[in-house]
Amino acid sequence: KSKLEYRISYDETKELEAIVFIIGGFGSSTNLSFMDFTRQNLAQNFPILAVNVLYHCFSNRFNEEDSKYSAKLAYYEADMLNLKKILMKTKIPYQSHLEPYHYHNLLNQWIKHHKEQGQIPQDMKMQGLSYTIIPANDEYQNYGIMPALDHIFVLKDLYKKFAHITGGGGSLLTYHLWR
């Protein structure tokens, strides 16, 4: 379901001297325009082919502008057990017809009320509440093995496509490779 995607930028007026991979920090997928700007700016100012790889599990943060690159929240069995335990402690009745997210607001109100009444300490925090973040495109977290391979595959693909570059080019190109 997921294709390997990468974006390249280079200045067609410059003879390319290097391929530079720009690996964004954790959460880069929250705003792709920043990633695009950085890549394009480097390509304009240096004789390089600048590359961003939208590697395996790249979209593990929430992107409000583009759902294709946005993670989603889910409640699994362990999350539901945690929620039910907290609801029992706070004496908030569990109702199966309500979405689990509905309880977050109820719990916040419960904490606020009890802090205002002096029934719980002001610095009290809710512990044990959980939910699961699901990366986009049916991907899974594998702690860097697939992202590393994705960058190698992109370099191999670029080598095939751009081995003989002596000018010409473009910007904002997006390529899709099958994994």
Burial per residue of 85-113, b for 16 or more beta-carbon CB atoms within 10 angstroms, e otherwise: ebbeeeeeeeeeeeebeebeeebeebeee
Residue ranges making up the domain that contains 151: 3-71+135-178
Same domain, 30 and 83: no
Given this model, what pLDDT does residue 165 score? 52
Same domain, 44 and 122: no
Same domain, 10 and 67: yes
Number of domains the chain contains: 2
pLDDT in tens, 1-55: 678 889 999 998 988 888 899 987 666 667 788 889 999 999 999 999 999 988 7
Residue type, 76: Y
pLDDT in tens, 50-70: 999 887 777 777 878 778 778
Whether the predicted pLDDT of 96 surpasses 70: yes
Q: Is 167 exposed, middle or buried (0-12, 13-18, 19+ CB in 10 A)?
A: exposed
Same domain, 64 and 140: yes
Whether the model pTM is above 0.85: no
Same domain, 34 and 122: no
| Beta strands at 48-54 and 72-74: parallel, antiparallel or unpaired | unpaired
Same domain, 45 and 85: no
